[in-house]
Amino acid sequence: MDLAREPLASNVELKARLDRFADAAEICRRLGAVDKGTVEQTDTYFSMGNYRLKLRESANGEHFLIGYSRPDSAEARKSQYRLQRVENPGAMKATLSRQWGVKAVVKKARRWFLWEDRVRIHLDRVEGLGDFLEIEAVVGATPGYDEDAARLDVARLTHDLGISPRDLVGESYATLVRAGTTTPAGT
């Protein structure tokens, strides 16, 4: 398995604290987003300096090694990533843990919606941190859908979902877990 040989993808993403989980789900439905259900996920982040690498284990049996880079900023930002499907996540986690060390483990229940076949909206209940919303507009998801169009969609959905600047979060879940930042679920 060679993650570096996987195609590089990109999206424009935004993360925010979420005060009203059920209301956000209802707004997603009203906007015409397709409810894709909820999946339990465990992300194990490895200590690799400036490079970000995580193993995502999902209760639905879909496991991925995800290498990515993006700035830690609260506004919408471009992220570049590679995904590699993993058949034996236990063995992969053991190998990477021995080689690089574990930086953080994040457990979450992710309810996700797909809007206009190009934007993923995640409503996350993160263990020890609380509720969050992530918007990921996938550049190239449809023909002609470029970074500028993705940024416009993120801005529109930010408005429609009632996200204010005070709600925005620049850090990854791993960084928040390591810092011990907590928010009670549902607040």
pLDDT in tens, 168-181: 999 999 999 999 86
Sign of the Cα torsion 57, 96, 79, 158 reads positive
**pTM across the whole model:** 0.90
Q: Find the CATH number of the domain harbouring 25.
A: 2.40.320.10
pLDDT at 49: 75
The total domain count for the chain is: 1
Amino acid symbol at 21: F
As beta bridge partners, residue 168 has 16
SS (H, E, C) 86-139: CCCHHHHHHHHHHHHCEEEEEEEEEEEEEECCCEEEEEEEECCCEEEEEEEEEC
What tokens does 54 get? 């995580």
Say what percent of the chain tops pLDDT 70: 93
| Separation of alpha carbons 180 and 98, rounded Å | 24
User: Which of 2, 187, 154, 162 has its CA nearest to residue 79?
Assistant: 154
142-151 pLDDT tens trace: 899 999 999 9
Asked if the structure places residue 186 within a domain, the reply is no
pLDDT at 5: 63
Asked if the structure places residue 161 within a domain, the reply is yes
Asked if the structure places residue 104 within a domain, the reply is yes
What tokens does 135 get? 């918007």
| Separation of alpha carbons 159 and 103, rounded Å | 34
| Separation of alpha carbons 131 and 120, rounded Å | 16
Asked if the structure places residue 184 within a domain, the reply is no
118-170 pLDDT tens trace: 999 999 999 999 999 999 999 998 899 999 999 999 999 999 999 999 999 99
* DSSP conformational letter for 7: P
Asked if the structure places residue 1 within a domain, the reply is no
Domain span including residue 32? 8-179
Say what percent of the chain tops pLDDT 90: 84
Q: Is the confidence at residue 13, as pLDDT, over 90? A: yes
Asked if the structure places residue 33 within a domain, the reply is yes
32-59 pLDDT tens trace: 999 999 999 999 999 887 789 999 999 9
Rg (alpha carbons) of the chain, rounded to whole number: 16
Asked if the structure places residue 14 within a domain, the reply is yes
Asked if the structure places residue 187 within a domain, the reply is no
